[in-house]
Structure 1
Amino acid sequence: MKFCLVVASKKGGAGKSTLTQIIAQVLANDGQKVTILDADPNKPQFRWREGKSKLNIKVIGDVSEQNIVKMIDDVQEGFVIVDLEGVGSRLVARAIARADLVMVPIQASGLDAHEAGNTIALITEEEELLRRKIPYKLMLTRTSAMIPSKIERQMVTELTGMGLSLMEAQLNERAAFKSVFVEKLSLYELSENVSGLQKAIQNAETVVKEIFA
């Protein structure tokens, strides 16, 4: 059995790569087979895999518009997670067309909300073309781990008021999530000296639990 999860946003810096890595790590730590297709031109996932993490996460970096569909289809079992570039390209559209679920990460800003709307419009276009529903979930990223800011509360109110599928769980701004890429290790392999590590792990696992609820 295979599940294809696509992480998409037409805006760079929304947290796609961090969300991709966190989902992959929680699933792999739970014993799941995980493959990441790194379609981001900066190749953050591919560079992470060059580190010493022992988690069973396979990363494929040679992803293009021409081969993205084949690469997704070639994964026979487990979870395939696609980390996309921050534009609305044909590559992005093809990945979305193969998705069992699209995650749309957004920061608490008006610009991110606008771009999230564009990403949802792209999902809708693919639904019309394929004549099938493509489930998606919006999730706020880089939010305060303490008290939500005024703009974060406003974003939640506005997005839910629009009837959009917004997750209750949020991926907070945490030092451990940055350390994952610096150290090229998983959350479960970082030193306990990393600030707030256990809370970061709890945050990550809560997010993944809701994604697949």
Structure 2
Amino acid sequence: MIAFLNQKGGAGKTTLATHLAGELAMQGQRVTLLDADPQGSALDWAQRRSQSGHKRLYGVFGLARDSLHQEAPQIALRSDYVVIDGPPRVAALARSALLAADLVLIPVQPSAYDVWASQEMVQLVAEARVFRPQLLAAFVINRRVVGTVIGREARQALADQPFPALRAEVSQRIVFADSVAAGRLACEVAPQCAASREIAALAQAARDMLRESVRESLRESRR
């Protein structure tokens, strides 16, 4: 289970969640997306996709309840990956998503304000690790403006945090806005575009983290 969480609104959680789920599905994985945001943006995207007659890539279900961690495991039995689009500013829902997730990805826009705002999420992850010490966490620099150095500065600002920033970054690109409005993915609107390559790199980074965690667990069990 991979959860996109950030207590700050506007970080791009839904865009990343729908695109990561789509990338995994296109790789042949069985994927479910859980919309844990009361605003229901991922559900709206899925509805637009259905109304436009586009192929269904994965199931999208609304689960904006603080019992998410109790209900999600049953859903996971039918999926290879469950992607959770988390809520902003709803700590109870965020805590429930953290208790369900194997990996939490925290989208951070490359600005000092977003880096500062991420501290609340860092604290929530620390609290969740008391109960689930195996919980993985990483930052994702999102909406980086191409051709600027501000993304590098954001990475430097995140260097002091207790978990890493993924090397895979996602830039601010018009194709994301165009694809969301049509209920599609960037790779469907513009195949082989830079946005598609960035999402593929993000999916690979997430899978690598999860695989390394499994390998580490196996090594520990053999000691």
Q: Report if TM-score (shorter chain) is over 0.5.
A: yes
Deviation at 1:176, TM superposition (A): 1.4
Indicate which of 2, 5, 17 corresponds to 1:5: 2
Q: 1:22 maps to which residue?
A: 19
Deviation at 1:62, TM superposition (A): 4.4
In 1: Cα distance, 2:183 partner to 2:118 partner: 29
Q: 1:120 maps to which residue?
A: 122
Kindly indicate whether residue 200 of structure 2 is the aligned counterpart of residue 199 of structure 1: no
In 1: Cα distance, 2:156 partner to 2:84 partner: 29
In 2: Cα distance, 1:131 partner to 1:191 partner: 40
Q: 2:216 maps to which residue?
A: none
Residue correspondence of structure 1 range 1-213 to structure 2 within 5 A: 4-50=1-47, 51=49, 52-65=53-66, 67-75=67-75, 76=77, 77-128=79-130, 130=131, 132-145=133-146, 147-149=147-149, 151-162=150-161, 164-190=163-189, 198-213=193-208
TM-score by length of 1: 0.87
In 2: Cα distance, 1:68 partner to 1:162 partner: 27
The alignment's C-alpha RMSD in Å is: 1.8
| Gap change, CA 1:48 and 1:162, over 3 Å in 2 | closer
Does the CA contact (< 8 Å) of 1:32 and 1:78 recur in 2?
A: yes
| Gap change, CA 1:136 and 1:62, over 3 Å in 2 | closer
The one-letter amino acid of 1:38's match is D
In 1: Cα distance, 2:153 partner to 2:188 partner: 36
Deviation at 1:155, TM superposition (A): 1.5
| Gap change, CA 1:135 and 1:62, over 3 Å in 2 | closer
3-state SS, counterpart of residue 212 of structure 1: helix
In 2: Cα distance, 1:89 partner to 1:155 partner: 25
**Which has more helix, going by share of residues?**
2
TM-score by length of 2: 0.84
The one-letter amino acid of 1:164's match is F
| Gap change, CA 1:101 and 1:62, over 3 Å in 2 | closer
In 2: Cα distance, 1:54 partner to 1:27 partner: 15
Deviation at 1:47, TM superposition (A): 1.1
- List alignment gaps of at least 5 residues for structure 1: none
Query: Bigger shift: 152-161 or 93-102?
Result: 152-161
3-state SS, counterpart of residue 167 of structure 1: coil
The one-letter amino acid of 1:137's match is A
- CA deviations over 1:22-48 (Å, ceiling 9, x no partner): 101110111111111111122111111
Structure 1 moving runs of 4+ over 6 Å: none
